[in-house]
Structure 1
Amino acid sequence: MEKALRKSVLNFNWNKPAFLNQRYFIPNQLIDLLIENDFNLTEEGKSVNKQPIYSLTLGTGKTKVLAWSQMHGNETTTTRALIDFLMYYKKLQQENKLGFLENLSIKVIPILNPDGAKAYTRYNANKVDLNRDALTCTEPESQVLQQLYTSFKPDFCLNLHDQRTIFSAGEEKNPAILSFLAPAYNKETTINNTRLKSMAVITAVNKVLQEYLPAKVGRYDDAFNPNCIGDRFTQLGTPTILFEAGHWPGDYQRKKTVDYCFLALFSALKAIEELTIAGAEHGYFKIPENEKNFYDIIIRNVVFCNNLTDVAIQYNEILEDKTLKFVPFLVKIGNLSKHHGHSEITGNNKKMQINKLEYSEINVKIENIALDNENYIDFLTLN
């Protein structure tokens, strides 16, 4: 993608409301914003709790792209990037500068799981993971997506998600700020023309991102699961690209990740319109596979539970009174030399206390932490 165009995307500013700078927002805020900005929404169905599920359509070009976000209600980073793209599209449209986008018809479901989004949970109101409901299709949200897929007949699908902070891009100390997958269509993970098209798009996107996120783009494991929607649509012959928005160090609201996810989304659409298969498989498998090598915090070389050891801490995202809180939990005690912390403390053989105790089980909420009686709880506080 041309450098001037990439710069235009990354430098795009609009009158973004404050709620879009946060991980949690109420679905109605987003829908009201789209209506206020003259996007024509179509109600495609209702959720378990009878909340409307909307779509909108951009363009009338020959190549059809179906994109959906917040299949998992607590994964909002790609949704926020999607809104940036919608606002950018409208700007280009008003200036008669759509360019390659004129060749696309893009149908978007901004929030597929409004009940999960409101409760800030992965699941829908029936406690079902919609990304494990592709074959059974028991849930109304799944039925909306599959009915829209059948009626729209997309040439490509974009499945937009967030990933946890634990992922690295390969084995090195590089967080997977964005990851992608060309889903399999069988248990042998055979590469056919459908998957090859997905790989071509991902390869093109990665080429753009490496200028800004060198060695920080990952590739998801492609083990086949017929109940995952990406695997299902690939099986039906539609190239599908899984986006996973990850962690930019220190940015737990993921504002920086939103920017690069927007660039990735725009780059994917350009790659779809200019599809080039040559070198796709090689380029795709050059992207390092995601590994679970990170913790939010590692405290190294402390005396705890009567041993010189390392301790890992992970934030749980907990919604309280419509505010998202990042609450630290003890998740691992042991030798963590092969793991990395987004933040690290060197304990220098000091005695550690968690919740005023020198021993603890794992998966304990941390109320207080001290090294040789020096309080470190402020270091752990993100709110």
Structure 2
Amino acid sequence: MKKKLLTAAVTGALFTFGSFYAGTGTILAGDNGPNGPNYNGNETIKNERLHSYEEMVSDLEKLDQRSEALQLEVYGESVKKRDLYLAKFGMNEDNPTILFLTQQHGNETLTTEGALEVIKYLSSNGKNVKEILENVNVLIAPRLNVDGAEGDVNFSLEDYVSGTHTRYNANEVDLNRDHVDRNQPETKALHENVLQKYQPDYMIDLHHQGTQTTLGDTGELVSGSILYPTNDEVDSVVREQSKKLGAVVYNAVESKGYGLLSKYPGGSAQTISRNGLAAEYGISTLLLEMRGMADHYREDYVLGQKSNGYLIQQAVTAMKASLNALADGSIESADTSFWDTLPESNYDGE
């Protein structure tokens, strides 16, 4: 029987919240304990603060009308004929190009919320934005799996906690396992009309993981996990640049009071974008997994709305740090030695 509402003691990365992020309506993290983030509390699932597909499109179109820097492009359609959007900033062939890809899995929602904040930021006229856009080409593909995010699919979500979001596209295919065959319209469009057309040098692929992921066997719950491409066919230079990108993200997130990252124990198959895009196109890729999901058939994977604020800001922090490091060239001096000692993720869930 489908559970319409989850009110559970989800041992989550929760905080005492004391402020709001201006313009978003999302709650920011407040006080931490003496040993870092206070990971405890009860939560209720509410999706009102998340952008629906229609709301996302409306916001993107409004920003496109107001901003000279932003170019909004439709690069394909989903199974259910929803348009797929790409936000573009700058196309100077002398500059490095970075792609931020979100929501390959429709139940991994806060990555897109962070991407929309970054699109809004890059559409402004601030001094830092000008410096970024003079030196970096930015591509943001918010929400690849638009059908799964709407729960508009050709299979039942009866066993899901809230029955609103699913990992899979409308054909019940995991898009992040379709980067070789490209049988689904979403991945086919991404490859033909974004990757092959714009040839990005870097990519951060943003995802979510379960709520109970820990830093190795320490028992400490993490706010996210990262990993570079691990396929054997990836060029060593591409892999090293991926590790440098990871160092930039790691240092930026760890500097926050709520940030604690582990090394994701991911596979090496080329069907996964982190590996396949690095091997096929020479893109330096980084996986960033964030804590908790909006919906799942496992209750210990689902995180309620109280953590939305700090997780969205974790995504924003990672993306902005990457842009700044590419703009000023500091990515080249990033120290990758932390990868040698970064504990792998463990999972204490049921």
Asked whether the two chains share a fold, i.e. TM above 0.5, the reply is yes
| More displaced 10-residue stretch of structure 1: 12-21 or 103-112 | 12-21
Whether the 8 Å contact between 1:21 and 1:255 is mirrored in structure 2 is: no
AA of the residue aligned to 2:252 = V
The question of 1:28 aligning with 2:82 is answered no
Name the CA shift for 1:135/1:29 in 2 (closer, same or farther; >3 Å). Answer: same
Whether the 8 Å contact between 1:68 and 1:108 is mirrored in structure 2 is: yes
> CA deviation digits over 1:147-206, x for unaligned, max 9?
11011111111211111102112222322202111021228xx88111110111111221
Choose which of 283, 286, 304 in structure 1 pairs with 2:341: 286
The aligned counterpart of 1:87 is 120
Choose which of 149, 168, 176 in structure 2 pairs with 1:117: 149
User: How big is the shift at 1:97?
Assistant: 4.8
User: How big is the shift at 1:251?
Assistant: 5.7
The question of 1:105 aligning with 2:137 is answered yes
AA of the residue aligned to 1:167 = T
User: Normalising by the residue count of structure 1, what TM-score does the alignment of the two structures yield?
Assistant: 0.67
User: How big is the shift at 1:95?
Assistant: 5.5
The aligned counterpart of 1:257 is 311
Name the CA shift for 1:247/1:173 in 2 (closer, same or farther; >3 Å). Answer: farther
Structure 1 residues 274-313: aligned runs within 5 Å: 274-277=329-332, 280-293=335-348, 295=349
The runs of 5 or more residues in structure 1 that have no matched partner are: 1-10, 296-330, 332-383
Aligned equivalents of 1:209, 1:72: Cα separation in 2:
23
Whether the 8 Å contact between 1:60 and 1:102 is mirrored in structure 2 is: no
The aligned counterpart of 1:137 is 182
The question of 1:233 aligning with 2:277 is answered yes
Whether the 8 Å contact between 1:174 and 1:215 is mirrored in structure 2 is: no
> CA deviation digits over 1:44-93, x for unaligned, max 9?
111011111111101234111122111111111111111111122222x2
* DSSP 3-state at the match of 1:55: strand
User: How big is the shift at 1:288?
Assistant: 2.0
Larger Rg: 1
AA of the residue aligned to 2:110 = T
Whether the 8 Å contact between 2:63 and 2:123 is mirrored in structure 1 is: no
Choose which of 146, 153, 159 in structure 1 pairs with 2:199: 153
User: How big is the shift at 1:125?
Assistant: 0.4
Name the CA shift for 1:37/1:21 in 2 (closer, same or farther; >3 Å). Answer: farther
| More displaced 10-residue stretch of structure 1: 214-223 or 129-138 | 214-223
The aligned length equals 282
User: How big is the shift at 1:247?
Assistant: 4.8
Whether the 8 Å contact between 1:41 and 1:54 is mirrored in structure 2 is: yes
AA of the residue aligned to 1:183 = P
Whether the 8 Å contact between 1:116 and 1:125 is mirrored in structure 2 is: yes
| More displaced 10-residue stretch of structure 1: 56-65 or 35-44 | 35-44
Aligned equivalents of 1:37, 1:14: Cα separation in 2:
17
User: How big is the shift at 1:277?
Assistant: 4.7
User: How big is the shift at 1:218?
Assistant: 1.2
Choose which of 88, 96, 100 in structure 2 pairs with 1:63: 96
Aligned equivalents of 1:198, 1:12: Cα separation in 2:
33
The aligned counterpart of 2:171 is 126
Aligned equivalents of 2:84, 2:270: Cα separation in 1:
24
| More displaced 10-residue stretch of structure 1: 27-36 or 242-251 | 242-251
The aligned counterpart of 2:38 is none
Name the CA shift for 1:186/1:203 in 2 (closer, same or farther; >3 Å). Answer: same
> CA deviation digits over 1:284-341, x for unaligned, max 9?
2332211112x4xxxxxxxxxxxxxxxxxxxxxxxxxxxxxxxxxxx5xxxxxxxxxx
Name the CA shift for 1:215/1:81 in 2 (closer, same or farther; >3 Å). Answer: closer
Aligned equivalents of 2:169, 2:225: Cα separation in 1:
24
User: Normalising by the residue count of structure 2, what TM-score does the alignment of the two structures yield?
Assistant: 0.73
User: How big is the shift at 1:128?
Assistant: 0.1
Q: What stretches of structure 1 move > 6 A for 4+ residues in a row?
A: 18-21
Name the CA shift for 1:12/1:238 in 2 (closer, same or farther; >3 Å). Answer: farther
The runs of 5 or more residues in structure 2 that have no matched partner are: 1-18, 28-45, 65-69, 152-164, 294-302
The aligned counterpart of 1:199 is 243
* DSSP 3-state at the match of 2:74: strand
Aligned equivalents of 2:102, 2:120: Cα separation in 1:
16
Whether the 8 Å contact between 1:22 and 1:253 is mirrored in structure 2 is: no
Larger fraction in strand: 1
The aligned counterpart of 2:82 is 51
Name the CA shift for 1:49/1:214 in 2 (closer, same or farther; >3 Å). Answer: closer
Aligned equivalents of 2:279, 2:49: Cα separation in 1:
33
Aligned equivalents of 1:128, 1:200: Cα separation in 2:
32
